[in-house]
């Protein structure tokens, strides 16, 4: 287990609301670390609709999910937040008044005075392919994410999917794997065009195998794969020799471990009061799509508002003896100095 990281605030979820919370907390001299189960920053905006237009961000007539994420990252740069990606918070333990010890599935421990849950509808969980008996191989030779590339060195890899994740890992892992086979149900890909072009180039040069079809069965003993049965679009059955499979069938939202954190829940959402969006546990706040209250609207702009009010209350926990004077960024020289404004 890692040595505990001490910080003022731990934010669970690095989507737009979690990112903007860094800004509001930073203005009030609170340092934040962020944990996200995804391998990238931006939450749903980055993972589910990076190119989808968003029209209701105040003052920005049009922006993509990726563009909004980029803009928020630029905005919070003065506050140097630390991100812990590919990690899921498993437990939150109360150790003070206020004070929490938070542990992730990677064994990282945080000690903080405030926790902000900004996890959208919960944690993203990979969709399991409809392959009989796949559960027996999960965690030993079937993996839904890549945390350490070295784990796949000299492996016979079968990567299944046609989106960005499947193509990105095909390109990243083929130099270190013994052999990589990419399998997709059709010869048409949803990934970035340059990635598809790179992949086809490797196939043409014989450095990569591409098969069209679907996995219908797995072979191997004791949770270790030895091969997969593939049914082609012409119904022909073939075998692919592999000792590791990476299926990328997209993500689904699940509440996940939030249900075990000792926080009151209501229909798989976290009820909060509306003066600061605090949960039933003092010092733990919930902002964005994961919270619920009378009149709640699941809009990014509402999550931004919730983050601003949350920060005001969080300041009381982090600096109990310090009087908070409300200031505007337009007129406060001290706030402008924090933002690096000349």
pLDDT tens profile 1-29? 568 999 999 999 999 999 999 999 999 99
Q: What is the pLDDT of residue 135?
A: 95
Statement: residue 125 has pLDDT above 60 = yes
Instruction: Consult the annotation and say whether 7 binds a ligand.
Output: no
124 labeled binding residue: yes
* Residue range 323-330: mean pLDDT, rounded: 94
260 exposure class (CB count in 10 Å sphere: 0-12, 13-18, 19+)? exposed
Share of the chain above pLDDT 90, in %: 78
The CA distance from 299 to 64, in Å, is 15
The Cα–Cα gap between 253 and 244 comes to 25
Q: How many Cβ atoms from other residues are within 10 Å of residue 191's Cβ?
A: 20
Q: Check whether 168 is labelled as a binding-site residue.
A: no
Q: Would you list the DSSP string of 314-340?
A: HHHHH-TTS------TTT-HHHHHHTT
User: Taking a C-beta distance cutoff of 8 angstroms, is the pair 226, 233 a contact?
Assistant: no
pLDDT at 49 over 80: no
Task: Give the residue from 234, 242, 251, 303 showing the smallest Cα distance to 272.
Answer: 303
pLDDT at 183 over 80: yes
> Is the N-terminal amide bond of 98 cis, ω within 30° of 0?
yes
Is residue 136 within 8 Å of residue 239, measured between CB atoms? no
Q: How confident is the model at residue 254 (pLDDT cuts 50, 70, 90)?
A: low
- Rounded to whole angstroms, the Cα distance separating 197 from 203 reads 10
319 is in an annotated binding site: no
| Residue 258 confidence (pLDDT) above 90 | no
State residue 119's pLDDT score.
86
Which residues face 284 on adjacent strands? 115
Q: Residue 252: CA atoms inside 13 Å, Cβ hemisphere, count?
A: 7
- Give yes or no for residue 40 having a pLDDT over 90: no
- Which of 236-243's residues contact partners 24+ apart within 8 Å by CB, and which partners? 238/211, 238/213, 240/158, 240/181, 240/183, 240/211, 241/156, 242/156, 242/157, 242/158, 242/181, 243/141, 243/155, 243/156
pLDDT by residue (tens digit) across 57-99? 999 999 988 899 999 999 999 999 999 998 989 999 999 888 9
Q: Is 44 annotated as a binding residue?
A: yes
- Global pTM? 0.70
SS3 per-residue string spanning 186-235: CCCCCCCHHHHHHHHHHHHCCCCEEEECEEEEEECCCCCCCEEEEECCCC
Q: How many CB atoms lie within 10 A of CB 117?
A: 27
Average pLDDT of 281-286? 96
Please give the domain boundaries of the chain with CATH numbers for all domains. 5-124+252-339 (3.50.50.60), 128-249 (3.50.50.60)
Confidence of residue 328 (pLDDT cuts 50, 70, 90): very high
């Amino acid at each position: 287990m890692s040595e505990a990281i001490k910080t003022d605030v731990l934010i669970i979820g690095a989507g737009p609301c979690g990112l903007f919370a860094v800004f509001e907390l930073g203005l009030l001299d609170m340092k934040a670390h962020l944990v996200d189960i995804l391998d990238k920053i931006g939450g749903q905006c980055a993972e589910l609709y990076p190119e989808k237009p968003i029209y209701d961000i105040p003052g920005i007539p049009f922006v993509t999910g990726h563009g909004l994420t980029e803009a928020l990252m630029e905005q919070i740069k003065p506050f140097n937040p630390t991100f812990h990606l590919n990690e899921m918070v498993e437990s939150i333990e109360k150790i003070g008044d206020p004070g929490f010890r938070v542990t992730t599935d990677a064994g990282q421990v945080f000690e903080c005075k405030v926790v902000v849950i900004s996890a959208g509808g919960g944690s993203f969980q990979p969709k399991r392919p409809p392959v009989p008996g796949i559960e027996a191989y999960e965690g030993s030779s079937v993996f839904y994410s890549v945390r350490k590339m070295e784990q796949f060195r000299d492996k016979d890899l079968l990567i299944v999917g046609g989106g960005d994740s499947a193509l990105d890992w095909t390109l990243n892992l083929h130099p270190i794997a013994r052999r990589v086979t990419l399998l997709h149900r059709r010869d048409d890909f949803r990934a970035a065009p340059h990635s598809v072009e790179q992949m086809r180039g490797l196939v043409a040069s014989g450095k990569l195998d591409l098969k069209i079809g679907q996995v219908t069965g797995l072979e191997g003993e004791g949770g270790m794969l030895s091969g997969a049965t593939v049914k082609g679009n012409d119904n022909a059955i073939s075998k692919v020799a592999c000792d590791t499979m990476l299926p990328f069938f997209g993500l689904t939202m699940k509440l996940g471990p939030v249900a075990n954190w000792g926080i009151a829940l209501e229909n798989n959402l976290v009820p909060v009061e509306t003066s600061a969006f605090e949960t039933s546990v003092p010092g733990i706040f919930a902002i964005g799509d994961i919270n619920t209250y009378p009149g709640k609207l699941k809009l990014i702009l509402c999550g931004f508002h919730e983050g601003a009010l949350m920060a005001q209350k969080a300041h009381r926990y982090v600096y109990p003896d310090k009087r908070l004077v409300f200031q505007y960024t337009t007129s406060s020289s001290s706030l402008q100095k924090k933002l690096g404004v000349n």
